[in-house]
Structure formats: structure tokens, C-alpha cells
């Protein structure tokens, strides 16, 4: 009898151990990660780095599942899904974010940043951190700033060489009040539109053009539907690396560190992708038939925006804009 119970006990212990192992395996939390562009893009590079770093650091307790190409909806819907807790993570452009955290709009002011190094320095410092902290009050957790690069104008009507050439062009912009004000000031007709609709609208001629960084123009193959590109570099475009509070609050402190480290790796990966791509993008677009205008002097464009700058200064505070300009 004693012998039987010893065997039974061993069998029970083995079963319990197997159960514990399978439960630990089953408990790998799924992290749904949405973004607007294809996997072969700076968003995809960021998503892969985030997943790889976090899965490794969390010892497999977190498992990412990627939804590229707006599979979970446009960017605004994606941010709302994070607030609702139906999506765990997202990489989104700054475009829709000023609808949630108005202060982020200041980053979208044209010609605010001298170059990428200046922009990164500001976003990685106290100003950028202060902006990330503001997301908490809007039901979002913002972990890092990644990069899309500088935005440029494409269209099918004419080569844009001076500010007057923008007059009357129907340009798709993001749902972003700062961008809309800028293009209205130029005399263009800004048309906010969700990203998934843009290619079709360009094909049908509903809009004449759009504006985006080279990383987006190339990854979305806009050369198939656009003829002219002007390297205006009018706005530096960051991306935000966000998670849902419902997801974040359900993590252990160790898992939170893993997710945050992953987000930093994602930010670095987007920047590297944009840097590498910018070096060869213009040649690729020319090869695919786009006519490219390089501006030798951007000051006429800056000057044309003087009226808009007065609005920006009153909205975001001249102090903040001066502070950003003064960062070395």
C-alpha cells in the first residue's frame, strides 16, 4: 500500500510540474502591436526591434503579434483602441496625437528644427520627456520618441519651386491643426484624410498631392501615383511609441522594464532606418520616374509662413519655441 502511494505521489508531482510549465507557457501575454505602414518600413523596423528586445528581456512571458498596414484601423482609431484597452501597443505618427495631447502639436511647427540631430536632442531631453509625461492624463502611456524624418511635398500638377507654386494644390495632410494652418497660409487647400484612403484618392485625382517623409513615400510606393517631389523638409516628423494603460498596469515591474527597453530599441531602429533610407531614397524615386526639385534656399518658404508663426507662438507659447530653437 505504502509503495503504491509513493508511485502515485511521484505521478501526481510530475503532473503538477507539467501543468505548471504549461500554465507558464500559456500565460505568455499577447501584445497586439498596430501601425499604419507595411512591415518593410521604419515602423516595421521599430516593431521588430520592440518585439525582439521585449520578448527576450521578459524571458518569453510577453509575445508580440504585429498588425502592419493599418490592419487595426487608421492611426486615430489605433490611439483610441489603446485608450479602450482593446490594443496593447502602437507606433503612430505625431499627426493625430495633438487631438489627444495638444502640446505635441508644437513639434509639428514647420522649420522648427534645424536638422535631425537638433530634433533628436530636443525629443530625448527634458522637453521630449515632458511631452511623453502628458499622455498619462489622456489615458495613454508614451514610452519613447522614434522618427519618420523630414516631410516633403509630392503632387501631380506641377513642380513646386517657390511658395506660390503651392497655391490651389489640393494636398492631403494629417488630421493636424498645425499642418493645416501652414498649408492654408501657403495658399494650398489642405485636405485631412486617413492614411489608408490616400493612394486611392491620388489615383482618382480627388487630391493633387500629399506630404510625408521619404521613408513613407518609398515604403508606400507613392511614385506609382505621384509625379513631382520637392524636398521641402518643411516639418520634422517624430513617431510616438505607445502602450495601453490597461496592458501596462497588468505587467510586473520586470515586464514594464522589458517593454520600456523594447520601446527605446524601437525608437533607435526607426531612426537608423530613416537615416539609411534617406541616403538612397531620392535616387530610387528618380529611377521610378519621379521628378525631383531640390530647394537651394528654403527661406522664401519660411518667410511665407510668418502669419502662421504668430498663431503658433500664441498657441504654444513663444517661450517653448525659443527654448527649442536655442537647443544646440
The reply to whether 17 falls in a domain is no
The reply to whether 19 falls in a domain is no
First to last CA, the chain: 82
Please give the average per-residue pLDDT across 127-140, as a whole number: 97
Please give the average per-residue pLDDT across 205-219, as a whole number: 95
The reply to whether 213 falls in a domain is yes
Say what the pLDDT of residue 328 is.
82
Say what the pLDDT of residue 174 is.
86
The reply to whether 4 falls in a domain is no
Host domain of residue 165: 30-318
The reply to whether 20 falls in a domain is no
% of residues, the chain, pLDDT over 70:
92
The reply to whether 91 falls in a domain is yes
What residues contact residue 101 under an 8 Å CB cut-off, 6+ apart?
Answer: 131, 134, 135, 138, 140
CATH code at position 236: 3.40.190.170
CA angle 52, 54, 59 (to 5 degrees): 100
> pLDDT category, 95, cuts 50, 70, 90?
confident
Q: Looking at the 3D structure of the chain, how many domains does it have?
A: 1
The reply to whether 275 falls in a domain is yes
The reply to whether 326 falls in a domain is no
Amino acid at each position: 500500500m505504502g509503495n503504491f502511494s509513493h508511485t502515485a505521489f511521484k505521478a501526481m508531482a510530475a503532473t503538477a510540474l507539467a501543468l505548471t510549465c504549461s500554465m507558464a507557457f500559456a500565460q505568455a501575454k499577447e501584445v497586439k502591436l498596430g501601425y499604419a505602414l507595411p512591415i518593410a518600413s521604419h515602423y516595421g523596423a521599430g516593431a521588430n526591434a520592440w518585439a525582439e528586445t521585449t520578448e527576450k528581456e521578459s524571458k518569453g512571458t510577453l509575445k508580440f503579434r504585429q498588425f502592419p498596414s493599418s490592419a487595426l484601423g487608421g492611426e486615430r482609431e489605433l490611439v483610441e483602441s489603446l485608450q479602450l484597452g482593446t490594443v496593447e501597443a502602437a507606433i503612430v505618427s505625431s499627426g493625430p496625437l495633438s487631438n489627444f495631447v495638444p502640446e505635441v502639436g508644437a513639434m509639428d511647427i514647420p522649420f522648427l528644427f534645424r536638422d535631425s540631430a537638433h530634433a533628436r536632442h530636443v525629443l530625448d531631453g527634458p522637453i521630449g520627456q515632458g511631452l511623453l509625461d502628458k499622455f498619462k492624463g489622456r489615458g495613454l502611456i508614451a514610452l519613447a520618441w522614434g522618427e519618420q524624418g523630414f516631410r516633403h511635398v509630392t503632387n501631380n500638377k506641377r513642380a513646386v519651386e517657390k511658395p506660390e507654386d503651392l497655391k490651389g494644390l489640393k494636398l492631403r495632410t494629417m488630421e493636424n491643426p498645425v499642418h493645416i494652418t501652414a498649408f492654408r497660409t501657403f495658399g494650398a487647400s489642405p485636405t485631412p484624410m486617413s492614411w489608408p484612403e490616400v493612394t486611392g484618392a491620388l489615383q482618382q485625382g480627388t487630391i493633387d498631392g500629399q506630404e510625408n517623409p521619404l521613408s513613407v513615400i518609398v515604403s508606400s510606393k507613392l511614385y506609382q501615383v505621384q509625379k513631382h517631389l520637392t524636398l521641402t523638409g518643411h516639418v520634422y516628423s517624430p513617431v510616438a511609441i505607445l502602450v495601453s494603460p490597461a496592458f501596462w498596469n497588468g505587467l510586473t515591474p520586470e515586464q514594464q522594464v522589458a517593454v520600456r527597453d523594447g520601446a527605446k530599441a524601437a525608437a533607435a531602429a526607426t531612426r537608423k532606418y530613416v537615416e539609411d533610407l534617406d541616403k538612397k531614397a531620392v535616387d530610387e524615386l528618380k529611377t521610378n520616374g519621379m521628378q525631383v526639385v531640390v530647394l537651394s534656399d528654403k527661406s522664401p518658404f519660411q518667410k511665407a509662413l510668418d502669419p502662421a508663426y504668430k498663431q503658433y507662438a500664441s498657441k504654444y507659447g513663444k517661450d517653448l519655441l525659443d527654448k527649442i530653437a536655442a537647443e544646440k
